Amino acid sequence: MATILSVSIALILITIGVHHEALALGSRCLDRLPISPRIRVLLAVFLTLCAHFIEVVLFAVGWYYLLATNIVRPDRHPVFFADHVHPAGVRRHRAVGTGAAVGRY
């Protein structure tokens, strides 16, 4: 339990750091570019989406680490890394709006 808590806290702190640095970088660099404000906002949104993708991958790495070290027991074998990048996973996804939940989270 202590390992899970430690990994979770570390991932949260790293995520805050990544998000802060992405926003600070965007603030510093985008102000200096000689482009229109609309393009500047578009680039800021794209930078933020890239930061979110990095954060999702960080959490997937953390979850995969917990599974690989058997700290958390997987509900199925084998465990693929790509299944943890998005919570729906490849094998658990159903069309939106069907009203049926698939898999355990």
Crossing angle of helices 37-68 and 2-32, rounded to 10°: 160
Q: Are 91 and 77 in contact (CB under 8 A)?
A: no
Give the total number of structural domains in the chain.
Answer: 1
Angle in degrees, CA 20, 65, 24, rounded to 5: 5
Look up the domain containing 13 and give its range: 2-73
- Say how far apart CA 94 and CA 11 lie, in whole Å: 28
Q: Are 62 and 11 in contact (CB under 8 A)?
A: yes
In this structure, is residue 89 part of a structural domain?
no
In this structure, is residue 99 part of a structural domain?
no
In this structure, is residue 23 part of a structural domain?
yes
In this structure, is residue 86 part of a structural domain?
no
In this structure, is residue 33 part of a structural domain?
yes
pLDDT tens digits in sequence order for the chain, 105 residues long:
788 888 889 999 999 999 999 999 988 988 888 999 899 999 999 999 889 888 888 888 888 888 788 777 766 666 666 666 665 444 444 455 555 555 554
- Say how far apart CA 88 and CA 60 lie, in whole Å: 12
pTM of the model: 0.68
- Say how far apart CA 78 and CA 56 lie, in whole Å: 21
